[in-house]
Structure 1
Amino acid sequence: MIGCGLIVFFYGYRYYSEAKQSRSLEETVALVRNREDYVEIDEISPYFLNAIMAIEDRRFMLHSGIDIIGIARALVSNLVAGEIVQGGSTISQQLAKNLFFSNQQTLIRKVAELLMTMDIERSFSKKEILELYSNIIYLGQGNYGVEAASREYFNKNAIDLNLEEAAFIAGVTQSPTAYTTNIELGKERQREVLDALSDFEVINFDTED
């Protein structure tokens, strides 16, 4: 068992190293920030920022990139449901995956993702990580990032999203195609986000460092 774990870590570390050698974290982030539809955090509705944390990573401001409590909670929920209903990945982990890795679910990729997550947490503030994540997530109908999605679904900029609109877009992240092509599913997911927000401690980013 230990031997298998060491082998997985070795190949995961190699995958991580190759990704960094191909293009550094700084270069990759610069490419994202140079996109035409990139928006800074103060150009994104606070409703969306809080909604995405409430539904994707409730402890985002507290953990250091890897949330053991969140992983345990997801495991229990999945065991009770008998299927995968929650993921354990943090926003930082999802950012690492989207910047560097494929969606292929393997232990080797997961190790590489965790190592890159630690780099991201060391290099950027929570506000920067949330800003980057909000700009690269796939939100259905060919739209990447909250600004593109806001224009597509509500014909407005990301800063102008109201609570219900923000909840809809934040909910799309789980299954972009399903929630943007099936109105009832989309509304059901929107309600889940609104419920998650009801007991979430809202963050005021205007006062955060």
Structure 2
Amino acid sequence: MKTVARIARYALIAVLAAVVAWCAITVRDGYALYREALGRQSIEEAVAELRETPGYTPIEELPQRYLDAVVAIEDHRFYEHGGIDVIAIGRALLADISTLSLREGGSTITQQVAKNLFFTKDKRFERKVAEVFMVHDLEAAYGKREILELYVNSAFFGRDYTGIGQASWGYLGHAPAEMDDYECTLMAGFPNAPNLFATDPKAAAARQQLVVQQMERYGFDAGEAAPASAQAG
């Protein structure tokens, strides 16, 4: 029995050592990816380039209902954390490590801005680490409303539409400032699966209902965002 216990102990130590080594390598590679991204373009340059994108819409021209809907469905603790939601990340990390994948989300709005501006959408642990470093810089340089503005203008909405300005004109036929409550909640849900929602009105409507539910759950007023006959077309 002692021999079995000793072998089990050594095996556990070996596994822990392998995990620590893997984590160290991942952090190293993630930091290198972060530095490489900044070497190509600074945060200020990336933001300036985004603001020159056709359809870029300042936050002052966006309905508060839409902004609340985005926060409710994407990152309801957005105004409380410093760019990393430890609770969401921890929950996703446990699931990801158990499957050796990145199937779970957990990304905050700031992390998504980092990804949209600097990184590919490849699901790699190194990229998630790089995002964490970039998030620190973004949160230090910009306020929460600025970061939220960057997110809604850099998110992909399907059909080659990047940003809420292009998406609102493309799907709804008018400027974001004119979105009603239903349209605000509909558009807030699009970045989750833009290509699906762009072609499947039923799926888009179901997502819109989830947005409304999340708003109610986290204390946001969804207004008159009940299902409407009009769908994004």
Q: Is the alpha carbon distance of 1:76 and 1:24 closer, same or farther for their aligned partners in structure 2, counting shifts above 3 Å?
A: closer
Whether the aligned pair in 2 keeps the contact of 1:140 and 1:180 (CA below 8 Å) is: yes
Q: 2:117 corresponds to which residue?
A: 99
Give the aligned residue type for 1:132. L
Q: 2:211 corresponds to which residue?
A: 193
CA separation in 1, counterparts of 2:114 and 2:37?
11
Pairing 1:146–2:164 present: yes
Q: 2:188 corresponds to which residue?
A: 170
Whether the aligned pair in 1 keeps the contact of 2:54 and 2:166 (CA below 8 Å) is: no
Q: Is the alpha carbon distance of 1:12 and 1:75 closer, same or farther for their aligned partners in structure 2, counting shifts above 3 Å?
A: closer
CA separation in 1, counterparts of 2:193 and 2:74?
12
Give the aligned residue type for 1:51. A
Whether the aligned pair in 2 keeps the contact of 1:47 and 1:161 (CA below 8 Å) is: no
CA separation in 1, counterparts of 2:196 and 2:20?
40
CA separation in 2, counterparts of 1:200 and 1:42?
23
Pairing of 1:1-209 with structure 2 (within 5 A): 1-72=19-90, 87-202=105-220
CA separation in 1, counterparts of 2:168 and 2:71?
18
TM-aligned CA deviation for residue 187 of structure 1: 0.7
Q: TM-score, normalised by structure 1?
A: 0.89
TM-aligned CA deviation for residue 107 of structure 1: 1.1
Give the aligned residue type for 2:41. R
The runs of 5 or more residues in structure 1 that have no matched partner are: 79-83, 204-209
- How many residues are paired up? 198
Q: 1:81 corresponds to which residue?
A: none
Comparing 95-104 with 193-202, greater Cα deviation is found at 193-202
TM-aligned CA deviation for residue 85 of structure 1: 8.5
**Bigger Rg, structure 1 or 2:** 2
Whether the aligned pair in 2 keeps the contact of 1:54 and 1:200 (CA below 8 Å) is: yes
CA separation in 1, counterparts of 2:214 and 2:68?
10
Give the aligned residue type for 1:113. E
Identity of aligned residues (%): 37
Q: TM-score, normalised by structure 2?
A: 0.80
RCO comparison, higher one (Cα < 8 Å, 6+)? 1
CA separation in 2, counterparts of 1:123 and 1:111?
19
Q: Give 3-state SS (helix, strand or coil) of 1:88's partner.
A: coil
Q: Is the alpha carbon distance of 1:5 and 1:17 closer, same or farther for their aligned partners in structure 2, counting shifts above 3 Å?
A: same
Whether the aligned pair in 1 keeps the contact of 2:156 and 2:191 (CA below 8 Å) is: yes
Q: Which runs of 4+ in 1 moved over 3 A?
A: 72-78
CA separation in 1, counterparts of 2:91 and 2:22?
26
